[in-house]
A and B are shown apart, each in its own frame.
Chain A
Amino acid sequence: MKTIRYIIQKEFKQIFRNKGMLPIIFVLPLLQLVILSNAATFEIKNIKFSYIDNDNTSFSRALIDKFEASTYFNVVSNFPSEKIASSAMLKGDVDVILEIPNNFERDLVKDKKTNLSVIINAIDGATAGVENVYINQIVQGFNKNALVELMQPSVPIAIGITNKPKSISSITSFWYNETLNYKTFMVPGILVLLVTMITLFLAGMNIVREKEIGTLEQINVTPIKKHQFIIGKLFPFWIIGFGLLTIGLIISKVIFDTPIVGSLGLIYFYTAFYLLVILGMGLFISNFTDTQQQAMFIAWFFVVIFILMSGLFTPIESMPMWAQYLTEFNPIKYFVEVMRMVMLKGADFTDILPQLLKTLGYAIIMNGLAVWSYKKTS
């Protein structure tokens, strides 16, 4: 126990004396959280909207005004012909082209029926889908107004992509994130990344560094026990992991006003086990590498896979089956789930028990491997 204390003391001194490392530990996470949470958005805004108005009547202008009024669309151009519009889309100057046909108003009034043509740049299929929904909503809204204006409410007038105005309206209520604020969704996840990446890199590189400078050999010649060395080495990073989590939680509360519905204690309790997985992984990597560079590359390789397969940016449910099975081995996935569940839904201990148990199992295996592969004698 005493021996461990001496190692911990030494580690903390070294960490806080390393002027290059301190900003990495305390400033980068802050920046990361602030920048990523604001930038990594799934909301589709500022859609570059253009139109070809072949009708040029009060009706067609009213429709275009609707788009202008929308916060999602920026009306960037009014094209005289479809040819010019297409070339603008090819260049990427516009995302959406709405073409209003000749006699739009006349057909609408006379036949109660007309057509609109909408062209959407669908290179990014998901974005195109969302844009389509937005356009439909606006056209539908216009449709309803037109009905009223034409004073013939009994006869449905349908234009555009939808055929009939809806007679059944649904009222949607959004749970856990009422305002559909994507930051509320992203912040807990990015917090996970931050805690994971920094503790993994710091812990992994720390031990390899001792290999590089030759002090590890000196340590191996002392009667120090394997477990003493490992605990002494990893404990400071366990604490730093908590420090990062705390900084992150404060930032998410103060800057993003992210709700923390569940218990903070539960978050810390889970994190305690989660950090063990990450630290074990760091140690494991450092046992198989000789330089900080190698350790960094390997750690980076795993982190990238873990992040992309964590459900943070893309839902796990939409991954192919084999990939979904793979995510079972991804500790970041569990932490993201737990954070979102506890922070946003107020999940309690029994709710996160499955994740907790899997994390615990992971921690035991990872640290077992790490201790086994750390050899004082080569």
Chain B
Amino acid sequence: MVSNNIIQVENLTKAFGDFTAVNAISFEVKKGEIFGFLGANGAGKTTAMKMLIGISRPTSGKATVAGFDVYKNPDAIKKNIGYMSQKFALYDDLTVKENITFYGGIYGLSRKQIKEKTNQLLEELGLQKIVGELVGSLPLGWKQKLSFSVALLHEPKIVFLDEPTGGVDPITRRQFWEMIYKTAHNGTTIFVTTHYMDEAEYCDRVSIMVDGKIEALDTPKKLKEQFKAKTMNDVFLKLARG
């Protein structure tokens, strides 16, 4: 691929009957950037994301992720991306270690790789002591950090985070964003949806979705200038209120 864009989206649309959840959105994400995908609840963020990760078929439009077409090659996309959903999606009735082993296994990592990754990850997260505990008994913040790490197990090119910090305390949110920075620093592209506007400030570029359409897309700094606002919060309110 000649282009430096790891995600390329053109007029991507998803309609459920009469309702158009995502209305002809176009944007691109560059390699290695932290791309913030903002919008109010129900603006269509999650639907758009699901089309990009290959679990929802677009109604029309074009999209390539990591160089693969979302229509023709969803399985190739899946090998190259990590995904952390809004809902916590590790198994509560498995231990920390068993969860890591399972996801490592189904991404096709070898036993040796799984072992190395497990140790590395536990050390980074400081979870060595509770490796044998059921994930269900962990506090939410730890679960979120763990599921982010699990999404990175197979070293994907892009990781999709769907409101990763929902319901998490400010300290953990901060730690979470440090993890995101670190991951981006290692060259992984981050595609993150959120409705915390302070988090938007941390992104390299943000898009703001309103009623299924992308109404603004630029760096946080430029967006603030464009909308003559002090914070991203004000930008968002101006846009969302129309």
Min distance, Cβ A14 to any Cβ of chain B, angstroms: 5
Q: Flag if A377 contacts B106 (CB, 8 Å).
A: no
Q: Which stretch in B20-28, B85-93, B178-186, B200-208 binds the other chain?
A: B85-93
- Binding-face segment, B3-11, B73-81, B119-127, B216-224: B73-81
- Interface flags, A1-44, vs B, CB<8A=1, else 0: 01101110110011001100000000000000000000000000
Say yes or no for B56: interface residue by CB 8 A criterion: yes
Q: Within 8 Å of chain A (Cβ to Cβ): is B142?
A: no
Closest chain B residue to A232 by CB distance? B106
Inter-chain contacts of B93 with A (CB < 8 A): 13-14, 17-18
- Is there a chain B Cβ closer than 8 Å to A353's Cβ? no
In the bound complex, do residue B85 and residue A223 qualify as a contact, i.e. CB atoms below 8 Å apart? no
A219 contacts partner chain B, Cβ-Cβ < 8 Å: yes
Contact A217 B75 (CB under 8 A): no
| Chain B interface residues toward A at CB < 8 A | 53-57, 74-76, 78-79, 81, 83, 85, 87-94, 98, 101-103, 105-108
The answer to whether B89 touches A214, judged by C-beta atoms less than 8 angstroms apart, is yes
Interface residues on A, range: 20 to 34
Q: Report which of A2, A218, A376 forms a contact with B85, defined as CB distance below 8 A.
A: A218
**Any chain B CB within 8 A of the CB of A213?**
yes
Residues of A within 8 A of B102 (CB): 6-7, 9-10
Contacts of A6 in B (CB 8 A): 101-102, 105-106
> CB < 8 Å: which of A7, A13, A213, A217 contacts B106?
A7
The answer to whether A224 has its CB under 8 Å from any CB of chain B is: yes
Contact count A vs B, C-beta below 8 Å:
76
Q: What residues on A are CB-neighbors of B89 within 8 Å?
A: 213-215, 217-218
The answer to whether B85 and A219 touch across the interface, beta carbons within 8 angstroms, is: no
B160 nearest CB across to chain A (Å)? 8
The smallest beta-carbon distance between A66 and chain B, in angstroms, is 65
Question: Chain A: which residue is nearest B82 at the CB level?
Answer: A221
Pairwise interchain contact A10-B78, C-beta atoms closer than 8 A: no
Contact A223 B91 (CB under 8 A): no
Chain B residues lying within 8 Å of A213, measured Cβ to Cβ, are 87, 89, 92
Question: Given A10-B102, A215-B89, A221 and B57 touching (CB < 8 A)?
Answer: no
Q: Which residue of B lies closest to A17 (CB)?
A: B93
Contacts of A220 in B (CB 8 A): 55
Nearest residue (CB) in B for A5 is B105
Judge if A222 is at the interface, Cβ distance under 8 Å.
yes
- Chain A residues packing against B (C-beta within 8 Å): 2-3, 5-7, 9-10, 13-14, 17-18, 213-215, 217-225, 376-378
Residues of chain A within 8 A (CB-CB) of B103 are 222
Residue of B nearest to A221 (CB): B83
Given contact pairs A5-B105, A223-B108, enumerate 19 new A-B contacts (beta carbons under 8 Å): A3-B108, A6-B106, A9-B102, A9-B105, A10-B91, A10-B94, A13-B94, A17-B94, A213-B87, A213-B89, A214-B87, A215-B90, A218-B89, A219-B106, A221-B53, A222-B106, A223-B107, A224-B106, A376-B54
Q: Determine the distance from Cα of A184 to Cα of B48 in the docked complex, in whole angstroms.
A: 61
Give the docked Cα–Cα distance between A92 and B81 (Å). 73
Candidates A215, A222, A224; contact of B91 at CB < 8 Å: A215
Q: Is the CB of B106 within 8 A of A3?
A: yes
Most chain B beta carbons < 10 A, residue from A9, A213, A223, A225: A223
Cα(A14)–Cα(B88), bound, Å: 17
Q: For the complex, give the distance between the alpha carbons of A224 and B154 in Å.
A: 13
B88/A377 in contact, CB under 8 A: no
What B residues does A219 contact at CB under 8 A? 106
Partner of A223, one of B55, B75, B88, B92: B75
Q: Are A214's CB and B88's CB within 8 A? A: yes
Take A3-B106, A221-B78, A222-B78 as given contacts and tell me if A377 and B56 are in contact as well, using a CB distance cutoff of 8 Å.
yes
Give the 9 A-B CB pairs with smallest separation, nearest first: A6-B105, A214-B87, A218-B89, A221-B83, A223-B78, A223-B79, A10-B102, A214-B89, A220-B55
Q: Which residue of A lies closest to B92 (CB)?
A: A213
Q: Which residues of B contact A10 (CB under 8 A)?
A: 91, 94, 98, 102
**10 intermolecular pairs with C-beta atoms under 8 Å apart:** A6-B101, A9-B102, A10-B91, A13-B94, A14-B91, A225-B75, A376-B54, A377-B55, A377-B56, A377-B74
Residue of B nearest to A228 (CB): B106
CA distance A359 to B117 in the complex (A): 46
- A215–B76 alpha-carbon span in the complex (Å): 20
Q: Which residues of A contact B98 (CB under 8 A)?
A: 10, 13
Q: Which of B55, B75, B101 has the most CB of A within 10 A?
A: B55
